[in-house]
Structure 1
Amino acid sequence: MVDNIDKDIIVYLSQDIEVTKDIYEDLSKKFNISEENLIKRLKRLNESGYLKRIAPVMIHQKSGYNSNAMVVWDISKDNLKKFIDIIKGINNISHVYERRTDEKWPYNLYTMIHGRNKEEVENIINYLLQKIEVKDFKVLYTIKEWKKTSPNLSKLIKK
């Protein structure tokens, strides 16, 4: 059962929050509960599907990462796991998705690569191309970011 404190925690975590030395201690004080109680609540919310994860979201533009590209790859099924394992070790890649293909669009793997400049993005792509056989790929550079916000859960969650 989700109570009002759980709802307040969910709403609070869905917004921009300050980076602190001990987020759990700070949150427990904010909600006037023990840190142990907070952690139990977070685990329960996660296990019940109300909370997927707690993770920082970096605003790459403010950190100097000004070049971004969605790279779509046509990777054989035989090479897919190996390729994904390589990608997991590259910090500049923030998203990796496997998708169904189509006759007109054969790309089954999508990655979002961030770099301080276009050359850094291209270096990562070239590194990946040297590591594994790729049938085909396309680099789609970001021109404009249209939406990068979370929903306002305070309006959606009723107490």
Structure 2
Amino acid sequence: MSVSTCPSRPATQSAPAAGTSAERDAQGLDAIDRAIVLATQAGLPLVPDPWGTVGREVGLDGAEVLARMRAMQASGVIRRVAAVPNHYRLGYVANGMTVWDVDDAEIERLGREVAAIEGVSHCYRRPRHLPHWPYNLFAMLHGHSREEVERQAAVLRERLGEACRDHRILYSTRILKKTGLRLARRAQA
């Protein structure tokens, strides 16, 4: 499991919880929250009680770790906790980022619909860069073959209907990154 942080967006500043430090760093983290992020940013331990394992590392019980993780997620410090599979090891060797030129008036509705389609692992809006790049909707598809990805893209094309003017499939040739942003460990005084 991966923990994806957004340290560039500070947490909402509120009164500190009982027993926590009132001092917060630039990311809005007190010392305990920072220790939890550092302990989990490379992934949660794959054990029956990951929260308890992290808690033992930072000096808390598992319930308190989970409560703090939820609070950091609610405040925007942690974006998500999710599994990050290696698609190649799972046999999904055809990974295609589909890019779509979709009518801007329809993109929000259609983006939500595309994101809900089975097989779409990522879906988001991006700015166009005219005249060379007209695509504004991106959706990642994974298949055991390029033909499978192309069939999935045909389903998306049908769903987008008349609002879609063009699309392309950009296939991955290698894995470049499988981690989120990492906080630096502080030097001990």
Shorter-chain TM-score range = 0.7 to 0.9
Amino acid at match of 2:70: K
Q: Which residue of 2 aligns with 1:145?
A: 175
Q: Which residue of 1 aligns with 2:83?
A: 56
Amino acid at match of 1:118: R
Q: Equivalent residues in 2 for 1:121-132 (5 A)?
A: 121-132=149-160
Q: TM-score, normalised by structure 2?
A: 0.71
| Alpha-carbon shift at residue 10 of structure 1 (Å) | 0.7
Change (3 A) 1:14 1:32: same
| Alpha-carbon shift at residue 59 of structure 1 (Å) | 1.3
Q: Deviations over 1:97-151 (max 9, x none)?
A: 2122222211111111111221211111011122232210011111233333445
| Alpha-carbon shift at residue 49 of structure 1 (Å) | 4.0
Q: Which residue of 2 aligns with 1:86?
A: 113
| Alpha-carbon shift at residue 42 of structure 1 (Å) | 1.7
Between the two proteins, the alignment pairs up a number of residues equal to: 157
Which structure's residues are more often helix, by fraction? 1
Return the alpha-carbon distance in structure 2 between the equivalents of residues 108 and 94 of structure 1. Answer: 17
Q: Which has the higher contact order (CA 8 A, sep 6+)?
A: 1
**CA RMSD, aligned part only?**
2.3
SS in 2 for 1:7: helix
Task: Give the stretch that moved more between structures: 83-92 or 102-111.
Answer: 83-92
Change (3 A) 1:149 1:88: closer
5+ residue gaps, structure 2:
1-23
5+ residue gaps, structure 1:
none
